[in-house]
Structure 1
Amino acid sequence: MKLVSTKYLLAHAQRHGYAVPAFNIHNLETLQTILDAARELCSPVIIAGTPGTFKHAPISVFAAMVEEYSALHNMPIALHLDHHEDPHDIFSKIGVGVRSVMIDASHLDFEQNIHMVSKVVQFAHAHDVSVEAELGALAGIEDEKSVSDLDAMLTDPAQAAEFVEKTGIDSLAVAIGTAHGTYKATPKLDFERLQKIRASVDIPLVLHGASDVPDELVKEAIKMGVAKVNIATDLKYPFSHAIKEYFVEHPDATDPRHYMVAGMKAMKEVVKHKIHVCGSENKLIIK
């Protein structure tokens, strides 16, 4: 089974009032953990990777692993380019078979953002690839990119409709108060802003920086129109902590087939919980 576009996954989520979780992977073990949890709960899932992920291992390797798993369990799975900034890098990865991309030009001014995103949309749509873009910028660290609190900007609802119309994107990542990484205090999401954005555009909305956000806030965002929720940091901590604990209990351990399992088990529980929060359990559609 080939990789699928997020366009169809998110359209279904938007119609039926849930969100598709997008989990960031880093290696084979994290990929396997996410897909096993999704299969057990019959949930659609988006496998996301930053440019740094695809420096760790080639995109062709990850694509092959996802396709093999998809065929083995008859699961439509989307492999998504998360926070990619170089259009030519995106074009080359589309050539490998990726069918979902995020072009992040949110660091540019409004017109430059539109110009770069439009360039990617034109190429991607010609290859039946869905495109996500961001209007506004989230604070925090994502991969090798850092945005300070002062530089972070919330999405302007007045610009959202123009941005969507001029770029032709399939989904819009909005900045409403979340951040990449962990929070120093409980985040305050601007739901009034989200409501105005939802009223101005009809494409699926995306919530970045959802790790460490209280479940009730994520659920409220989904009720108000968010159809894709990005999760990364919340997966790293349980995985790494479980492995550290394993070595404390088994200081002479050397077999990664054993100590990696501890991390996978801990991470799997978080993945299942996030699926429940997104309301995507039993929403998998097999064509």
Structure 2
Amino acid sequence: MTLASTGSLLADARAEKRAVAAFNVITLEHAEGIVAGAERAGRPVILQISENAVKFHDGCVLPIALAAHAMAEAANVPVSLHLDHVEHDGLLHQATDAGFSSVMFDASHSSYAENVELTRRAADWAHANGLLIESELGQVGGKDGVHLGAHEPGARTDPDEAAAYVASTGVDALAVAVGSSHAMTKRTAGLDFALIEQLRDAVLVPLVLHGSSGVPDDALAKGVRAGIVKVNIGTALNMAYTGAVRSFLADDAKAVDPRKYLESARSALTDTVAQLITVIS
């Protein structure tokens, strides 16, 4: 199947009042497991590679991006490539050559005025180069650096400010702070569904939920019904992946062939992907 664009996947999901899942890719096994899970669920999916994942690969985005691109082209469901949480122009400007159709530019750690200015410049460049651009307003938290907690005053996205921000920056999708937090290993996050509905009505672009691994299934489904269109998931995959490796090596302490335990990791990741896609679709 031909590589899809993130814009088309978001437009279809929004029209059908569902969401599309965007899963973080760190290794080739992540990409393989994500695509296999999406094929099992029979739904489109977004493979996203973060700036932190690029740093893990010695700052080289092209090898892992090309591997994800090949997986997307061979998939039996629509798959798009997204470059996530980019903070530096150098990486942003590699997006088109690496085959991405969308990028999330993250200036959420900055003041509102600086966030607007940096994001507007990034959006101008992205649009000139045919890319959909997502950004973040509010503080989802849980990522590198110091952030407000998900429930602290000032952390959540204000609907009026969101409308002004989208108009000022020209972004195509908006990640909003509505109660979730990055890197949660327990599914205890509580979403503010009323706020999601207010944001949906205030802005004209699709809403994105970051930190979705910490949100229970029923809340994820309700968040989609309230207006979330793109659901980002990373930690849940890594927990499945790492848990399977730990279990395999605990059962066979003499194992040395990585294909054996990585196969179990990929399989566990596939199961997680298929289950989560079903929840939000």
Same fold (TM over 0.5): yes
1:199 maps to amino acid: D
The structure with higher relative contact order (CA 8 Å, sep 6+) is 1
Secondary structure of the residue aligned to 1:244 is helix
2:19 maps to amino acid: A
1:161 corresponds to = 163
| TM norm structure 2 | 0.92
1:207 corresponds to = 209
Query: Using the alignment, how far apart are the partners of 2:181 and 2:213 within structure 1?
Result: 9
In structure 2, relative to structure 1, the CA distance for the partners of 1:175 and 1:61 (3 Å cut) is same
In structure 2, relative to structure 1, the CA distance for the partners of 1:75 and 1:167 (3 Å cut) is same
1:223 maps to amino acid: R
**Deviation at 1:222?**
0.4
**Deviation at 1:103?**
0.5
**Deviation at 1:184?**
6.7
- Aligned residue pairs: how many? 277
In structure 2, relative to structure 1, the CA distance for the partners of 1:43 and 1:185 (3 Å cut) is closer
Structure 2 residue 137 is the aligned partner of structure 1 residue 135 = yes
Structure 2 residue 112 is the aligned partner of structure 1 residue 115 = no
Query: Using the alignment, how far apart are the partners of 1:277 and 1:195 within structure 2?
Result: 19
Query: Using the alignment, how far apart are the partners of 2:240 and 2:187 within structure 1?
Result: 20
In structure 2, relative to structure 1, the CA distance for the partners of 1:83 and 1:74 (3 Å cut) is same
Query: Using the alignment, how far apart are the partners of 1:26 and 1:59 within structure 2?
Result: 11
1:285 corresponds to = none
Query: Using the alignment, how far apart are the partners of 1:70 and 1:264 within structure 2?
Result: 17
1:50 corresponds to = 50
- Identity value in percent: 35
1:261 corresponds to = 263
Can you list the C-alpha shifts for 1:201-256, whole angstroms capped at 9, x where unaligned? 12110011110211111111100111100111111112111111111111111111
Can you list the C-alpha shifts for 1:46-100, whole angstroms capped at 9, x where unaligned? 1112112112333211222122223323544222111111123211233333221
From 264, 272, 275, the counterpart of 1:273? 275
Query: Using the alignment, how far apart are the partners of 1:68 and 1:166 within structure 2?
Result: 36
8 Å CA contact 2:69, 2:99 repeated in 1? no
In structure 2, relative to structure 1, the CA distance for the partners of 1:90 and 1:3 (3 Å cut) is farther
Secondary structure of the residue aligned to 1:237 is helix
In structure 2, relative to structure 1, the CA distance for the partners of 1:232 and 1:146 (3 Å cut) is farther
Query: Using the alignment, how far apart are the partners of 1:222 and 1:139 within structure 2?
Result: 20
Query: Using the alignment, how far apart are the partners of 1:255 and 1:62 within structure 2?
Result: 22
In structure 2, relative to structure 1, the CA distance for the partners of 1:151 and 1:191 (3 Å cut) is closer
Structure 2 residue 77 is the aligned partner of structure 1 residue 84 = no
8 Å CA contact 1:3, 1:66 repeated in 2? no
2:31 corresponds to = 31
From 57, 71, 74, the counterpart of 1:72? 74
8 Å CA contact 2:86, 2:104 repeated in 1? yes
1:102 maps to amino acid: M
1:47 maps to amino acid: L
1:126 corresponds to = 128
Can you list the C-alpha shifts for 1:97-148, whole angstroms capped at 9, x where unaligned? 322100011111222111111111111111211000011011213xx44524
Moved more, 52-61 or 118-127: 52-61
2:232 corresponds to = 230
Query: Using the alignment, how far apart are the partners of 2:29 and 2:199 within structure 1?
Result: 37
In structure 2, relative to structure 1, the CA distance for the partners of 1:152 and 1:241 (3 Å cut) is farther
| TM norm structure 1 | 0.90
8 Å CA contact 1:38, 1:45 repeated in 2? yes
Query: Using the alignment, how far apart are the partners of 1:245 and 1:103 within structure 2?
Result: 37
Secondary structure of the residue aligned to 1:108 is coil
Query: Using the alignment, how far apart are the partners of 2:148 and 2:9 within structure 1?
Result: 32
1:174 maps to amino acid: V
1:284 corresponds to = none
1:243 maps to amino acid: V
1:283 corresponds to = none
In structure 2, relative to structure 1, the CA distance for the partners of 1:63 and 1:3 (3 Å cut) is farther
Query: Using the alignment, how far apart are the partners of 1:28 and 1:184 within structure 2?
Result: 26
